[in-house]
Amino acid sequence: MKSLMEIHNRLKEKYDVENWWPIYDGKEPFTEISVGAILTQNTNWKNVEKAIRNLISEDILSLEILKDIDIKILEKAIKPAGFYKRKAQTIKEFSKNVLNQKNINRDFLLSIKGIGKETADSILLYGLNEPIFVIDSYTKRLFGRLGFVNPNETYNNLQKFFMDNLPDDYILFQEFHAGIVEHSKAVCKKIPDCENCLLKDICKKEI
């Protein structure tokens, strides 16, 4: 079996994974990344980008503003991302709690209604540069097909597999996750383009 690092290196050579998480404003990068992680639940990034740009144009992409903003104004701004009523509540709860919290860790994030493991870990990895591996549907699909994992395993067990077999390095985790997402969108889709896959020589999926 090829090592995870070899797969990472192939993906990194193919895809642009440095500084992969987009920042459109830059005034409060942590806030923008965190809000983006919440908004991306059950939707694609194009919709998230529209919502974030709305927040920027309204000059409300700030924890101080978001915690007190009228919920209807927030809902209207993030509507392109879908599930906007639920996500607006989560964003307001997140903003209020983070401003009163000195130590932002995984348990704290998971205590906020509307934030699950994938969202919490995305905030930690990309927003705070914490070395924690994000497990998403792309990771399950790709590494299930490659034969490394059972995609039906629990989130915690899948995460442990990657973190036990990779160096403890947040930049590596960011770039590896980015490569997985890009490859899964371009090639290892629900209906995969196996012939053009740079990992086809090690894949266990029957074509």
DSSP string for 4-18: HHHHHHHHHHHS--T
Contacts of 171 (CB under 8 A, 6+ apart): none
Q: Using a CB cutoff of 8 Å and minimum separation of 24, what contacts does 164-169 make?
A: 165/3, 165/4, 166/4, 166/5, 166/8, 166/133, 168/131, 169/131
Q: What per-residue confidence (pLDDT) applies to 102? A: 86
Q: Is a pLDDT exceeding 90 seen at residue 41?
A: yes
pTM for the whole structure: 0.95
Q: Which fold has domain 29-127?
A: Endonuclease III; domain 1 (1.10.340)
- Position 76: which residue type? K
pLDDT tens track for 94-116: 999 999 898 999 999 999 999 99
**DSSP assignment of 84-99:** HHHHHHHHHHHHHHHH
Confidence of residue 2 (pLDDT cuts 50, 70, 90): low
Supply the pLDDT for residue 78. 98
| Radius of gyration in angstroms for the set of CA atoms belonging to the chain, rounded to a whole number | 18
Separation of first and last alpha carbons in the chain: 19
- pLDDT band of residue 204 (cuts 50, 70, 90) is confident
Domain ranges of the chain: 4-19+132-196, 29-127
Reported confidence tier of residue 70, pLDDT bands at 50, 70, 90: very high
pLDDT, position 205: 77
One of 3.10.580.10, 3.40.50.12280, 1.10.1670.10, 3.40.50.720 is the CATH number of 4-19+132-196, namely 1.10.1670.10
Share of residues in the chain with pLDDT > 70 (%): 98
More confident residue, 126 or 100: 126
Taking Cα atoms as reference points, which of 191, 183, 204, 205 lies closest to residue 9? Answer: 183
